[in-house]
Amino acid sequence: MYKHIIVPMALNHGIAETTMEIARTLLTDGGKITALHVHEAPNNSVGAYVEQSVMDNAFKSAKAEMDKRVAAMDGVDAVTVKGHSGRTIVDTATSLKADCIVLGSHKPGLIDYLLGSTAARVVQHAPCAVHVARYPN
């Protein structure tokens, strides 16, 4: 059983309910769950053509959506941060001293074998236990 579990949530995927259920099962009495959304800004070549106000509004919108989703989940705190998904999940788990990360992962495709998936990066670099829930494409 874990005292503090991070559950990364991609706002464009509908898998958070399953990972949240797993986290609740693994959580010790009196433990804490943090739902984490990592907002990735456009890469530098695209970002050069997008106004900062547009990127700021996109982040605010993502944060509002995350807060709305998590508001209905008892005992879950919402955190929205900017960064690269895999690296930021690991960094957030480290800074919050989480002892487990529960995240979903799709079946890897060819591009994942070449570049690596977010779940693979988290598993390789996390400072704590990682539970990966596999989902079909």
User: For the whole model, what pTM was predicted?
Assistant: 0.87
16 Cβ contact partners less than 8 Å away, ≥ 6 residues apart: 7, 9, 35, 69, 104
Collapsed DSSP state (helix, strand, coil) of residue 108: coil
> What CATH homologous superfamily does 2-6+8-115+127-135 map to?
HUPs (3.40.50.620)
Q: Give tens-digit pLDDT for 65-90.
A: 999 999 989 899 999 999 999 999 99
Band (98; pLDDT cuts 50, 70, 90): very high
What does pLDDT average to over the chain? 87
Across the range 40-50, mean pLDDT stands at 71
